Amino acid sequence: MPTSQIPVITIDGPTASGKGTVAHRVADQLGFHYLDSGALYRLTALSALRRETDLADEHALAKLAEHLHCSFQGGDIILSHENVTDAIRAEEVGNTASKIATFPAVRHALTGLQLSFRKAPGLVADGRDMGSVIFPHAPLKVFLTASVQARAERRYKQLIDKGFSANMQDLLVDLQARDDRDTNRTIAPLAPAEGALVLDTSEMNADQAVEQVLAWYAAVAK
C-alpha cells in the first residue's frame, strides 16, 4: 500500500486534554501504530537538560532533535535503549519542551521522524499540529480539548500517581502559560486543523471519548 493511502487519525489538543490516553486506546482498538509527537519534543528537552545544552541555542537543539534514537514499545518510551517513560513527564521537561517547540529549526528537524511513523495498517498520531501541519490530509482529524481546570486536575492526578510532587495552583498557572505559548507561536500554532472535529472532554471520561473517536472513524472509513 502506498504511504499516502495508509489511513491516519490525528488527535490534537492542549496539554492534559486527554489526547494521549484517547489516541493510544483508539490505536489499540484499531490495531494501528501510535505516535505521541509531544513525546518527541519532551525527548529532545530531556536530552538537552541532561547535556546542559543552551536552551536558547536553536541550532544545537535542532541537532539533538535530528539525531534522536527513540521508539515506542507498548506503553513505554525508549531513548537510546533507556526507558524514559516517566522521566519525560517531569514538569521541568514539559516546560522545556513547550519552550523549544517554538523554534522552527527544532520543529523542522522532527518532521521527518514524525512522518516515518505512518505505516500499514494505519496510524493514530497525537500532538498539537498533527492535523494542521504533519498529516493535513488525514481522513479523520480530531481536536480534543477541555477546560483548564479539568486539565489541571487530570495533570495533578497523573503526577501524584507517578510519585511526583504537584501543586494545583502551580499547575493551573503552568497550563495557562503553555496554552499561551502554543496558541501564539509563529510556527504551527495550536488550533483546530481545517476540517477537524472538536471534542470537549471536560465532562467526559476516557471511555466516552474513545467511543466517540471510533464512531467518527467508522463513518469516514466506509
186 has binding-site annotation: no
Rounded to a whole number, what is the largest CA-CA distance in the chain?
50
Rounded distance between C-alpha atoms, residue 77 and residue 57, angstroms: 26
Q: Residue 147: CB partners within 8 Å, gap ≥ 6? A: 202
201 has binding-site annotation: no
Task: Please give the order of strands across the beta sheet that includes 82-83.
Answer: 70-73, 76-79, 82-83
13 has binding-site annotation: yes
For 145, the grid coordinates are 480539548
19 has binding-site annotation: yes
Instruction: Identify which of 40, 128, 137 has the alpha carbon closest to the alpha carbon of residue 79.
Output: 40
Which region holds residue 212: left if phi is over 0, alpha if psi is between -120 and 50, else beta? Answer: alpha
16 has binding-site annotation: yes
**Is-cis flag, bond preceding 121, omega within 30?**
yes
163 has binding-site annotation: no
14 has binding-site annotation: yes
Quickly list DSSP for 171-213: HHHHHHHHHHHHHH-SSS-S-PPTTPEEEE-TT--HHHHHHHH
Binding residues: 13-21
| Feature table: binding site for ATP | 13-21
